[in-house]
Chain A
Amino acid sequence: MHWVFEPGFFSSQPVHVAVVVGGVVAVVSGVVGVFTVVRGQSFAGHTLTDVSTAGGSGAFLLGLNPLLGFVGIGVVGAGTMDLIGVQRVRGRDLATGIVLGAATGLAALFLYLDTTERATTGATQQILFGDIFIVDPSTIPVVVIFSVIALGAVAAIYRPLLLSSMSSDIAAAQGVPVRLVGLLFMLALAVSVGLSSLAIGSILSTALLIGPAATALRLTRRVGSAMVVASVIGVGATWLGVLLAYDSFYWGSSQQSLPVSFFIVMVTFALYLASGLPVVQTVTGRRASDRPTEEEPRSPHS
């Protein structure tokens, strides 16, 4: 087995922290990611990663836990996007773009100050691309609390959110407060992006949010099962990435580990590509059972 798990993998404390934090974060990203993809809010999700960059680099400057910066400013950014944006899709994209620009500008300033004033050249690398091996163990309870909040919010608004993702007209007619439900989801999305920024870096957090969810949506026919599959894929990719990064220290002769975020993102990407293979689609029954019957021979699509 030692050629799979290199020496010290199971006794290493950074590995323990990475497995716990990565696992929890991947579950949140999977659940929130499915709704993000289904609602067509990937752009908003990506913008929140840039907002997170500003928050993380700002927290670094102030000597705070970066997670607080990631999540805190993400929630503010999500609220701002919702305030500016109207319910129309174009208004929403516009608001998202405006917030994106402002956040990236702030991030540029904070990262500049981080590297000049505090002379920590590692800050940029750590905030943008993350390093789950250096997450402080004391952060774990905070990660769990934020995760429970995000998952709890999605569970609470599950049905109205599903209905308004389907059609806001139908939802409104049925009495769903469409605007409020949309705002609550944006806040859950901000928390989720903040968590994955901690795990794999703010720039890469989109990959953990969208990748497993998009893969799961190819393989399932229900939102609920897509969430389960996305979580499993996310956790699997994260843990495999942690293992590969740990092992990479022993590859070659350079005695240096490669970035863990790189491995997580690449495993996620490979799984997405694999899910598109015809053989996978057939095995999961997605193709075969999509149209169980050929009703209505007169319909133009049949």
Chain B
Amino acid sequence: MVQMVQLTDKQQERYSRHILLQEVGAEGQEKLLNAKVLVVGTGGLGSPNSLYLTAAGVGTVGIVDADVVDVSNLQRQIAHSTNDLDRAKVESAAEKMRALNPDVEVRPYRLYLDASNIDEIIREYDFVIDGSDNFATKFLVNDACVLAGIPFSHGGILRFNGQTMTVLPGQTACYRCSFREPPPNPVGCSRAGILGAVAGMLGTIQAAEALKFITGAGTLLTDALLTFDAATMNFRRVPLKRRSDCPVCGENPTISSLEEHHG
């Protein structure tokens, strides 16, 4: 049975560069328009992620962030402008996204993700992108996605460095397979600094992974951790394996409820 194409003339023009790609085509664009992606964090990583997903015509993009725009964010968080200071980040980003592409339904969530609310939110989505700025959230997103079986992209940046991996729960290595627990005294961007463009480099890699996942194009960055050092521009791909003793996706998981572990 041949599927009917619903793309309007305007959409055919807007997304022509996607349609031209043999791996994407009209079919892939249809999939994008029907897809739902949640971006956690609307900062350095969340900005390029949400803007590229919106531009690409991902049908529904959810964005989560409880913060307001601070002047020190503007050096890298490109979804916000100077006149957005003190506005909720999700509101500021949503405005840009809606202006960029009216095809996209933008759903802003102004809240902190925690064990009590994350499951309900992510279950609405096909793919999750972690662009959070702290380890607690990164582990929370990992565990919640693994438990709910929702594919996601992990990402982290510091100084000149970035790292990212894509996880298909139950099939490929998860974040906890390699990193068991949050480090005891983590250094964050606020103390160590970050080269602004590094956020864009990593965020766009995550966005590309999301688009690939939805359209089925190419192969995903799974069972591997991509790291780069923008100071030298060395990129490295570290192979990872799913661990049978992983506390969340292993054979005898010790984490089976978010509330207990993250409460």
Partners in one complex: no
- B-binding residues in A (CB < 8 A): none
- A-binding residues in B (CB < 8 A): none
